[in-house]
Structure 1
Amino acid sequence: MLNMPLFHPQRDLVGGYYDAGDNVKFNFPMAFTTTMLSWSVLEFGNSMGADHEHALEAIRWGTDYFLKATSVPDSVVGAVGDPNGDHTCWQRPEDMDTPRTSYVVTKEKPGSEVSAEIAAALAASSMVFKDSDKGYSALLLKRSIEVFEFADKYKGSYGDNIGSGVCPFYCDFSGYMDELVWGAAWLYKATNTPDYWNYVRNNIVSDVTEFGWDSKHAGINVLVSQWAMTDPNNSNPFIPKADQLVCSILPESPAQKSVTYSPGGLLFKPGGSNLQHTTSLSFLLSVYAGYMKANNKVIDCGNNVVVTPAKLVDFTKGQVDYILGKNPLGMSYMVGFGQKFPQKIHHRGSVIPSIDQHPQHIECHGGDEYFKSNSPNPNLLTGAIVGGPAENDTFEDSRSNVAQSEPTTYINAPFVGVLAALL
């Protein structure tokens, strides 16, 4: 018998996204994905053309779900689906019969990082819909305020309280304070309420160079720099830290130390699924380039290395070109783009024949034969960006090499903004 704080069968939790090639809804990376899509639209939506409408649809698919996941006061759904049961089975989403356990954080068993990231996603998306759907925007903002208050009032890590539903897959390694500050920063941007700005300033996080689903540190500095640049009294430490991020990334900078580069020029950070770092950091540099340009700002990295907004744009363009095929292998790491791209990605829906081709139910291990096959995946997951090559520019097109061949939402979401910025 599951204890009640973890399982709430009365909730409607239809919707949302799976994080990658599995069938589990991990709400922490899903919320980051939604925040990044929203930030992409806020910064670069005017460059999206006809795809702007599709971006809004993608965001709403996430926010509709998060409204359900936060519908019960003082509780937030952190994940849906038993990850260990799911990862044991190779099944299509249509066939899955693994436990769909709901893992919920509460006052007694808090989860500040997942709650605050959802609050950030709701705040950011409320601005996205402010002109096109005022009622929906107001609902998102109201819920964001409530969820942030819950995250801040009942502090604790969701890994300590619903760890069986999220670890080791999406444990929070950086602590929850960065998410709380991130959420407050987004709420300040959405409301202009001084209390949120004071929260950000009173809880400044120390790390400068990390940004992704687990760590929001560098993103906080870049986001806050937008308004800090217009207020010299509040420029410290956010603008110096954002400048430091830039100088820690660019290859020609004497301070470059937070990343390495492959012989072909791709940005690398430690850990698997490397393109998540490439796309996320490229997004931050694209955004910061816009803020710098608006304020006639340049960065002095030392040794006569002066970084202009144009130099940041050139850098991100180089990373995009590599991802899309301008690399030693001539390989596009976006499925369906270019003449050569990964054929055997680690993704259940892509690997197993569709319902049209195989209408019979596929059991837990019924998909194993397709996973082990040497044939290309039968279903093209167009637009999905996989984990990417190794640090020597090699790539193993193999479903077993999860770090290289699995696509994730949090690789793709920042890339949306980077592509729109280059347009």
Structure 2
Amino acid sequence: YYDAGDNVKFGLPMAFTVTMMSWSIVEYGRQMAASGELGHAMDAVKWGTDYLLKAHPSPNVFYGEVGDGNTDHYCWQRPEDMTTPRQAYKIDPNNPESDLAGESAAAMAAASIVFHRYNPSYARKLLAHAQQLFGFADKYRGKYDSSITVAQKYYRSISGYADELLWAAAWLYKATDSEYYLSYLGRNGVALGGTGWAMTEFGWDVKYAGVQTLVAKILMGGKASHHAPVFQGYQQKAEFFMCSCLGKGTRNVRKTPGGLIFRQRWNNMQFVTSASFLLTVYSDYLTTARRNLNYASGSVSPSQILSLAKSQVDYILGDNPRAMRYMVG
């Protein structure tokens, strides 16, 4: 996938997009099938994972960017007519990038779950690459924009790589049910910030709220084993995020006068959609666990959490003070 309106392939946000598309199918594939959209959604995921597989030619080599934003942005043209340089930038043991490799591992692990039933051989291939990339990311640690410096102006990794390592481990556990990845989450929850970072955003750079949500599901599903005390720390931070969106926390997200979650002036909808997704899945997890979301002075039901998520999606689709749709295409 090209980025935005240009012809650069930026690996980190692209891989995150594939992870999130896969997660949506994992959670709501049945509803997509009922509306006739599951095949389209899976095609969209496979378009991304086919590229990720090609970008990973050997266990410790991964190509994280194709094209250069500085030169590309001087010339607006169709991809079919592009004349800008197509230099490819790779990571390897001498140029480590744990955040990029970790996110790409998460994307392929999540996608392997999507294709497990419909294309088992492809799913196994994705999972093998995901496990290799995770091993590479964990062994050769580093921040990707320190190696692919041309990405710094466009997709600088502010949060570092610790969140992506946990994020990848969570998806690999979900894909394999392996004790190794469960233990990784337990052993590294404190050191890598999974139990420490209380977030009010979730997006292509900062994955903590996402991994905390996944681990909370493991805990509520009774699969935490002896890691339960650590996983409770993850869940507390997941619920901090939910409460902040609901306006029930100690540090709440800002909202516009019309009620839209507001993170920043530029491309704010990415944070609205990602937060809405986490709110939706967490409301489902709470419903399955038959519990409410507790905060300092009360509690919120799963249906109330879902109502907030729905209000954000409705706002994007036109239920807002300007009666304007923000979704195009």
Shorter-chain TM-score above 0.5: yes
Corresponding position of 1:307? 300
Corresponding position of 2:182? 197
Corresponding position of 1:148? 134
Give SS of 1:223's match: helix
Give SS of 1:201's match: helix
Corresponding position of 1:376? none
In structure 1, stretches of 5+ residues that fail to align are: 1-16, 336-381, 383-423
Corresponding position of 2:66? 80
Corresponding position of 2:235? 239
- The 3 A distance-change label for structure 1 pair 145 and 296 is same
Higher helix share: 2
Instruction: Provide Cα deviations, 1:13-55, integer angstroms capped at 9, x if missing partner.
Output: xxxx012111100010000000000000000111112101100
For 2:37 and 2:99, locate their aligned partners in 1 and report how far apart those are by CA, in whole Å.
Answer: 31
Corresponding position of 1:35? 19
Picking from 212, 215, 225, the partner of 2:216 is 225
Corresponding position of 2:198? 208
What is the 5 A alignment of 1:379-418?
Answer: 382=329
For 1:256 and 1:319, locate their aligned partners in 2 and report how far apart those are by CA, in whole Å.
Answer: 21
In structure 2, what residue type is equivalent to 1:320? V
For 1:226 and 1:301, locate their aligned partners in 2 and report how far apart those are by CA, in whole Å.
Answer: 18
Corresponding position of 2:258? 264
Q: CA deviation at 1:271?
A: 5.6
Corresponding position of 2:159? 174
In structure 2, stretches of 5+ residues that fail to align are: none
Give SS of 2:64's match: strand
In structure 1, what residue type is equivalent to 2:198? V
- The 3 A distance-change label for structure 1 pair 51 and 104 is same
Q: Is the 8 A contact 2:243 2:252 kept in 1?
A: no
Q: CA deviation at 1:240?
A: 1.6
- The 3 A distance-change label for structure 1 pair 80 and 23 is same
1:44 aligns with 2:28: yes
Q: CA deviation at 1:179?
A: 0.3
Q: Which has the larger radius of gyration?
A: 1
In structure 2, what residue type is equivalent to 1:139? K
Corresponding position of 1:70? 56
Q: Is the 8 A contact 1:111 1:151 kept in 2?
A: yes
Corresponding position of 1:368? none
Corresponding position of 2:114? 128
| Number of residue equivalences | 316
Q: CA deviation at 1:257?
A: 2.5
In structure 1, what residue type is equivalent to 2:31? S
For 1:224 and 1:213, locate their aligned partners in 2 and report how far apart those are by CA, in whole Å.
Answer: 19
For 1:230 and 1:207, locate their aligned partners in 2 and report how far apart those are by CA, in whole Å.
Answer: 23
Give SS of 2:154's match: coil
Corresponding position of 1:139? 125
Give SS of 1:88's match: coil
Give SS of 1:104's match: strand
Corresponding position of 2:143? 157
Instruction: Provide Cα deviations, 1:69-116, integer angstroms capped at 9, x if missing partner.
Output: 012331111100111110111112111100001010111011111111
Instruction: Provide Cα deviations, 1:300-342, integer angstroms capped at 9, x if missing partner.
Output: 22333x211100111011111111111111110012xxxxxxx
For 2:221 and 2:103, locate their aligned partners in 1 and report how far apart those are by CA, in whole Å.
Answer: 26
Runs of 4+ in 1 over 2 A off after TM superposition: 230-233
Q: State the TM-score, normalizing by the size of structure 1.
A: 0.73
For 2:68 and 2:99, locate their aligned partners in 1 and report how far apart those are by CA, in whole Å.
Answer: 20
1:61 aligns with 2:24: no
Q: State the TM-score, normalizing by the size of structure 2.
A: 0.93
Instruction: Provide Cα deviations, 1:362-409, integer angstroms capped at 9, x if missing partner.
Output: xxxxxxxxxxxxxxxxxxxx1xxxxxxxxxxxxxxxxxxxxxxxxxxx
